Amino acid sequence: MNTSVLRIPLASSNNTGEFTCRYEENVGGRWIPSPSSQAVTVTGNVTVSARSFLWVQELAVGGSFFLINGLIFLVFHCCF
């Protein structure tokens, strides 16, 4: 299983928005894009410590990649 983490150590209201995850995989010389994960709304808040913000962000990104990798495994396991 692949895991990626995006860290924004100095978050502010400028980091607010909806974020998705996706990647590309080289299969037989062709780059195949993954479907985008479900959007996760991230809100910069000056009252939230950077440490707790990172925890929520890591959970969202890790969960998205776990879901995508699980779906890819099921597709390849069932179809190939």
- Domain total in the chain: 1
Nearest to 43 by CA among 51, 31, 53, 30: 53
Residue 49 domain flag: yes
Average of per-residue pLDDT across 53-57: 73
Question: Does the pLDDT of residue 3 top 70, yes or no?
Answer: no
Report residue 57 as tokens.
Answer: 């962000």
In a domain, 3, yes or no: no
Is 24 inside a domain boundary?
Answer: yes
List all residues 6 or more positions away from 44 whose beta carbon is below 8 Å from its beta carbon: 11, 12, 13, 14, 15, 16, 53
Query: At residue 42, what are phi and psi to the nearest 5 degrees?
Result: -115, 130
What's the pTM?
0.37
In a domain, residue 6? The reply is no
What pLDDT shows up at residue 31? 93
More confident residue, 9 or 47: 9
Is 2 contained in some domain?
A: no
Residue 1 lies inside a defined structural domain of this protein: no
Residue 73's pLDDT band (cuts 50, 70, 90): confident
